[in-house]
Structure 1
Amino acid sequence: MSLTFKPVESYREAFSFRNSPDAIRRFPFPFPEDQYLYSVNIEPATSRDPGSVFEHCFDIDEHYRSETAERALVLERDPSRCLVMPHMQTAAWDALGVLMEQLAADYPEYFRLERDGDRWHWRNLALGINQAFTFGDAASLPCEPLEYITRQVQGDFALLDQRDGDLYMDAGMVTAPADWSLAFDAGMSFKQWHSPVPMAHQMGVFDRALKYLLNIQVGHPVRRLNWTMTINPRLDTSPETYHEWGSERGLVSPDNVGRLVHLRVELQVMLRLPRSHALMFSIRTYLISMDELVTQPAWARRLHRVLRDLPEPIADYKGLTRYRAVLVDWLSQFDRDA
């Protein structure tokens, strides 16, 4: 796939974000069946389907400049969105190393990395960054290593410390969360930060997922898709900014549902870091409006059936309750066989 970056678009206020036809075609539609059920749904994160979001470990697409600009805006307003506990400094450098190495290998036309022992030279041609630094020496970078590299990558990142048979969210860069907060979840265990999720605990989903994640080995990353819905193409739907977006759920009507309602899909990659052995959890978010989604007829039919039959606790957890009926009714016009 030829990678072309769009001019910077807005994920707030004027909401100028749009997907090109190519971006729509490669959108990671998350429903393999007409009914949604919680499952671990983890697979090896091996390269497949050239041009798709699954080709590379960390996907870079046409919205690269827009998302990095949005991250800078969020951090300017709230620097606490990047957090690294003292015992996670090695993991932060580890994450920087993995991301630089992977980006340079997968996108050499935009990212270059030269290494001579601890002396590294990083060039991000897409953003005009040229930085020589000493690996492990924070003073040789403009900011802390995790913040430095994640300002240049699409998606959020959590670094999980593994101890006592559990995973703890002890570091991260989270500027585009789907109604959760790094500041609130920091230091929590795997089950603690997943505690609001309905039904999955009774089904044992998180017990199986934790057991699997604890055994991820270096060089064998895994991935999964997760989804929710968002009103407007807004990336930052954090509790800290609820006052800015919470009321938007009441704006949906039959006349604007196609434009306002967006399917929000997370491509989550879990990767064991080689130096610290922390687990890096990347959360790459993709947005698509209903007007864009229904240009793919099979997706429109399936989404109608999934949302129509979604159990109420799940619909409520995903924030759909106020506009679900309007959305399902609108989607029904694309599912004549239902």
Structure 2
Amino acid sequence: MTEILQSDIPHDVTAPKPLPGIAPLEMAEWLQVDEAFAAQMAERERLLAERRGDVLAVTEAGQGAAAELLEVVLDWLAGNAPAYDVSATQVLRPDGVTVTVDRDDPMGTLGQLVQEDLCILEKQGEEHVLTAAVLCFPASWRLADKIGRPLTTIHVPVPSYDEGIARRVQRLFDGVREGRPLWRFNVLSYAAADLYQPVPRQHQSALGGGPELPFLRSERQSILRLPKTQACVFSIHTYVVRKPAQTA
């Protein structure tokens, strides 16, 4: 497929923090539009049209939060993203594409509005459970394997995600406040630039990897609490860049 690349990653990938590596995020900076917007959105639309069952899932428990998230995103775009033209029934995106707001399909609409993948997690018992998601750009995991499952299961088999980290992450989801999102990032070396990579491929969780791993992929991840349902939204903005050529 055609490579969809950014020219750079706007955070310092040379200094990734240990898990969970969380920092405060201004609400006005929650979602982003970057140079790859048009190409990434076209790829999202293709995936939603051709592989909807692989990239979108909503459980019965997640329907209320999915509907709320659509309204929250529309309000956020209207107030924080002047490149969008937002009304109650349609949205003109920065790339000139008009999206009809379908409130009967909130996650499908969201998948056509913003570059971020959006996952909804709701507290059930002692843990947050993935109840809905539009995940067009997975990095070596399948939505079908994770939907309806709690945080601890979602992160299996991440080697560094032990019981101690699991408890800290759960406390973060319990403690995130309305209007005060948190963010972190990861970075991986990949052999291919594909945005849709649902199955594990050759990658390395470090900046090295040699010439056979020529791409860096970094996810800007944030956690936001919805005011009505109190669900947590985990957003993922994906950057892929080609590594600079190494000189002898």
Partner of 2:206: none
Q: Please identify which structure carries the higher helix content.
A: 1
Quote how far apart the aligned CAs of 1:76 are.
2.5
Secondary structure at the residue paired with 1:257? coil
Partner of 1:321: none
Q: CA RMSD in A?
A: 2.5
Contact 1:38 1:205 in 2 (8 A): no
Partner of 1:230: 190
Partner of 1:87: 61
Secondary structure at the residue paired with 1:265? strand
Question: Matches of 1:130 and 1:188 in 2, distance apart?
Answer: 31
- Does residue 196 (structure 1) correspond to residue 169 (structure 2)? The answer is no
Quote how far apart the aligned CAs of 1:41 are.
1.0
TM-score under structure 1 normalisation?
0.65
Q: Decide whether aligned partners of structure 1 residues 130 and 227 sit closer, same or farther in structure 2, where only a CA change above 3 A counts.
A: closer
Q: Decide whether aligned partners of structure 1 residues 175 and 132 sit closer, same or farther in structure 2, where only a CA change above 3 A counts.
A: closer
Partner of 1:19: 6
TM-score under structure 2 normalisation?
0.86
Quote how far apart the aligned CAs of 1:277 are.
1.1
Q: Decide whether aligned partners of structure 1 residues 41 and 176 sit closer, same or farther in structure 2, where only a CA change above 3 A counts.
A: same
Question: Matches of 1:223 and 1:62 in 2, distance apart?
Answer: 21
Question: Matches of 1:130 and 1:38 in 2, distance apart?
Answer: 39
Partner of 1:206: 166
Contact 1:28 1:265 in 2 (8 A): no
Matched ranges for 1:279-294 at <5 A: 279-291=232-244
- Does residue 100 (structure 1) correspond to residue 80 (structure 2)? The answer is no
Once the two structures are superposed, residues 236-288 of structure 1 have per-residue CA deviations (whole angstroms, 9 ceiling, x without a partner) of 1112xx6xxx4x77xxxxxx928x61111110010001121111100111011
Percent identity, please.
Answer: 23
Count the aligned residue pairs.
Answer: 240
Q: Which 4+ stretches in 1 moved above 2 angstroms? A: 17-20, 26-32, 36-39, 120-123, 125-128, 130-133
Q: Decide whether aligned partners of structure 1 residues 275 and 101 sit closer, same or farther in structure 2, where only a CA change above 3 A counts.
A: same
Partner of 1:65: 38
Secondary structure at the residue paired with 2:186? strand
Q: Decide whether aligned partners of structure 1 residues 180 and 130 sit closer, same or farther in structure 2, where only a CA change above 3 A counts.
A: closer
Quote how far apart the aligned CAs of 1:27 are.
2.7
Question: Matches of 1:130 and 1:151 in 2, distance apart?
Answer: 7
Unaligned runs of 5+ in 2: 204-209
Matched ranges for 1:1-338 at <5 A: 12=1, 14-15=2-3, 17-20=4-7, 24=8, 27-32=10-15, 38-46=18-26, 56-80=29-53, 81-108=55-82, 110-114=83-87, 120-126=88-94, 127-129=96-98, 131=100, 138=104, 144-201=105-162, 204-239=164-199, 246=201, 257=211, 261-291=214-244
Quote how far apart the aligned CAs of 1:19 are.
3.4
Quote how far apart the aligned CAs of 1:157 are.
1.1
Question: Matches of 1:28 and 1:37 in 2, distance apart?
Answer: 12
Q: Which moved more, 1:93-102 or 1:120-129?
A: 120-129
Q: Decide whether aligned partners of structure 1 residues 199 and 94 sit closer, same or farther in structure 2, where only a CA change above 3 A counts.
A: same
Secondary structure at the residue paired with 1:100? helix
Contact 2:5 2:36 in 1 (8 A): no
